[in-house]
Amino acid sequence: MEAVVQQPITRDAPVRLEGLGKEYGHFTALKALDLTVAEGTSLGFLGPNGAGKSTTIKIMTNLIRPSRGRAALFGIDVRREPTRALARIGAVIETPEFYGYLSPLETLAYAGRLRGMSSKDLRSRSEAVLKEVKLTEWADHRIQEFSKGMKQRLAIAQSLLHEPDLLILDEPTSGLDPRGMAEVRDVIKSLKDQGRTIFMSSHLLGEVQEVCDDVALLNHGELLIRGSVRELSRGADTSTIQATFLHPATPQDLEALAGLPGVEEVKPSSDSTVDLRITGGQEGQARVLEGMIARGLKVITYRPLGSSLEQLYLDRIQESDRL
């Protein structure tokens, strides 16, 4: 029975959003989003609070209707054929709640039955996913006693249950403790290594940088950037560097620093620490360090404050907010 149910491999992109828009009353949450995610890649979906990330994800999972445009998963229109479109995906949306009267095992069984998993599959997969999110000990406890983080772990587990080809995750690590976050990141990375496609919203740029190949940046319901993490990180021209000196920097030192080529701004954050905004990419950073040493400043540390992706994010959001 279980041998030949393998899905045919289609060439349709796992995610294709075309002119997707959504209005809540008179408020436009999403304008006209075009976005494609290729098979086997992982996309980090970024944007400030209220940018429209969850709105997009809810349309993709048929929780809300788009006001215009369409969302297709593996070439299947979500509105027209929701069950077929959702059959190959696993989703975590906005920290879901679970039925308090069920245990994690029963919850997984409910989802598994709705998806038509065999009892045998269900048993082995439930065990595996609960182990993966470290809920094995709690497998038979009623969910009503669970903490927020435990529910989030269960949310991850149920999204993985049927080994979906596409994972749609809305802030998957929110509510988790630092170790939980790292564990979930590892789970997602290993799924990526297995060739599954991942669509993941997040506020944690480090997380996106670690897990995702590509990023899309959304603000006010509009796509600002879409590109590969590597290129965008490299391409960021300005960065903020924090330098610490052995001795406090004098006002003359600060003035001299501000005069170095490529330095846009010098902001002392304590006696012997300054934050510098530097243009010219990594070469610019190297030149400034040379300049400091040439001036006789004893540099103890010299490190970027935040990633260059973060800088890019902040710059572009600020730019689009100004418009």
Partner 1 sequence: MTPSPLAQIVTVAAYEIRKYIRGRRLLGMLILLGLIVGLFVGLPPALGIKYASTPDAFISTFATFSGLLVVLGGVLFAADALVSEHEKRTGYFLFPNPVRREVLVLGKIVASLIVCTAVLSLYYGAAAIAALIITGSLTWEVGLSYLYTLGYMTAVVGVAYLLSALLKGTVAATVLTFFLFTLIFSIIGGILPRANVEPWFIPTSASGIIANALGGPAVRPGPGGGDVGFIPDPATSLLVFAGYAIAGGVLAILWYGRRELAS
Nearer to Mg ion, 23 or 94 (CB): 94
Shortest Cβ distance from residue 238 to ligand ATP (Å)?
25
**Single residue of 41, 42, 54, 107 touching Mg ion by CB under 5 A:** 54
Site for ligand ATP in 264-323 (CB under 6 A): none
The answer to whether 24 contacts partner 1 (rule: CB under 8 A) is: yes
The answer to whether 150 contacts partner 1 (rule: CB under 8 A) is: no
The answer to whether 107 contacts Mg ion (rule: CB under 5 A) is: no
Q: What beta strand segments (E) does the chain contain?
A: 15-24, 27-37, 42-46, 68-73, 76-77, 89-92, 166-170, 197-201, 214-219, 222-228, 239-245, 263-270, 273-278, 299-304
Nearer to ligand ATP, 45 or 138 (CB): 45
What mask, x for binding ligand ATP by CB under 6 A, covers residues 34 to 53? -------------x-xxxxx
The answer to whether 147 contacts partner 1 (rule: CB under 8 A) is: no
Shortest Cβ distance from residue 59 to Mg ion (Å)?
13
How far is Cα 232 from Cα 226, in angstroms, rounded to an integer? 9
Could you say which of ligand ATP, partner 1, Mg ion, none residue 121 binds, taking C-beta under 5 to 8 angstroms by partner kind?
none
Shortest Cβ distance from residue 48 to ligand ATP (Å)?
7
The answer to whether 55 contacts ligand ATP (rule: CB under 6 A) is: yes
How far is Cα 287 from Cα 272, in angstroms, rounded to an integer? 20
Would you give the distance in Å from CA 223 to the centre of its chain? Answer: 15
* Total number of residues shown for the chain: 323
Question: Which helix (H) or strand (E) is 60 found in, with range?
Answer: helix 53-60
**Single residue of 16, 53, 58, 192 touching partner 1 by CB under 8 A:** 58
Residue 149 makes CB contacts below 8 A (sequence gap 6+) with 175, 176, 177, 180
**Single residue of 51, 93, 156, 205 touching partner 1 by CB under 8 A:** 93
Q: What beta strand segments (E) does 38-67 contain?
A: 42-46
Nearer to ligand ATP, 60 or 309 (CB): 60
Q: Which two tokens stand for residue 127?
A: 């065990």
Shortest Cβ distance from residue 9 to partner 1 (Å)?
16
- The helix/strand/coil state of 25 is coil
| Vertex 285 angle, CA 281 and 288, to 5° | 140
The answer to whether 66 contacts ligand ATP (rule: CB under 6 A) is: no
Q: What beta strand segments (E) does 196-253 contain?
A: 197-201, 214-219, 222-228, 239-245
How far is Cα 50 from Cα 220, in angstroms, rounded to an integer? 7
Nearer to Mg ion, 92 or 274 (CB): 92
The answer to whether 62 contacts partner 1 (rule: CB under 8 A) is: yes
The answer to whether 29 contacts ligand ATP (rule: CB under 6 A) is: yes
Give me Rg for the CA atoms of the chain.
24
**Single residue of 12, 24, 124, 271 touching ligand ATP by CB under 6 A:** 24
How far is Cα 113 from Cα 108, in angstroms, rounded to an integer? 8
**Single residue of 94, 121, 127, 163 touching partner 1 by CB under 8 A:** 94
How far is Cα 111 from Cα 120, in angstroms, rounded to an integer? 14
Shortest Cβ distance from residue 216 to ligand ATP (Å)?
12
Query: For Mg ion, which stretch binds (CB under 5 A), given 46-54, 152-160, 254-262, 279-287?
Result: 46-54
Site residues, partner 1 (CB under 8 A): 5, 24, 55, 58, 61-65, 82-87, 89, 91, 93-99, 101-102, 106-107, 110-111, 113-116, 155, 158, 168
